[in-house]
Amino acid sequence: MTWPCKHGEHPPGRHDLVFVSPAGWRAMLDARDDLAADSLLARWPKMRWPTIRRRALPCEAGGLALGLPLPPSAGKKRICLMVDIDHVASVARPPLLRQARAYAPRNWWPTLDRLDGLALRHAVDARVFGSLAWQSLTGLDYVTGRSDLDVLFEFQGETDIDRFVAEVAAVETDAPMRLDGELMGADGAAVNWREFHGGAGELLVKSIERVVLLGRQQFISRARGS
């Protein structure tokens, strides 16, 4: 699939937000009889809320694979959609952690502030996905008392990754929630931060195209672009 230059130099990757045109929404919903009666989903194009890029299934071709998780009040349904790339209006990175802070429970704020400071010291971009991201993007109630905090740590070539994840683990010891999330390098591939911190020799590495096992040093080298 060729990505049109008018939408940017690179196609959207994992966790990227994809905003679909009104015509694209009509085409997507017209193709899904099972979604016709969903009143919340009908609000999505009216509110100009995004979808999220996901990995395509083997049977899916001829478009861009998108996902849409609904809030707990709507049964936490995860909706899979396909859109023609010509109907992609824009693409954005996930919200920065500091931008989403105001939408988090107040007892999360000290943890968010510590993570934000930690990321700044280590030249890491801290972004959120999961329940807090969707709450900040829509204003709907996604975060519950059982929610994890999902953070995407985008590190640079000079980041001491081992030291960084050790400090993330230290932050979690005092956190009121489970701290989940991924370490993502320059190539867009990512691993679970907890798995990396555990010192495994082989890591489960996820990209928009596939999930593979890579040696620890191989992942670090690729992630740093070296």
Contact 164, 184 (CB under 8 A): no
Contact 95, 102 (CB under 8 A): no
User: How far, in Å, CA of 16 to CA of 165, rounded?
Assistant: 23
150 has catalytic annotation: yes
Long-range contacts of 59-64 (CB under 8 A, 24+ apart): 62/1, 64/1, 64/11, 64/12, 64/18, 64/88
Tell me phi and psi for residue 40, to 5 degrees. -65, -45
- Annotated catalytic residue: which of 150, 174, 180, 187? 150
- Annotated catalytic residue: which of 38, 116, 148, 187? 148
Which whole-number Å values give the CA distances from 24 to 20, 83, 172, 207, in the listed order?
A: 6, 6, 41, 25
174 has catalytic annotation: no
Catalytic positions are 148, 150
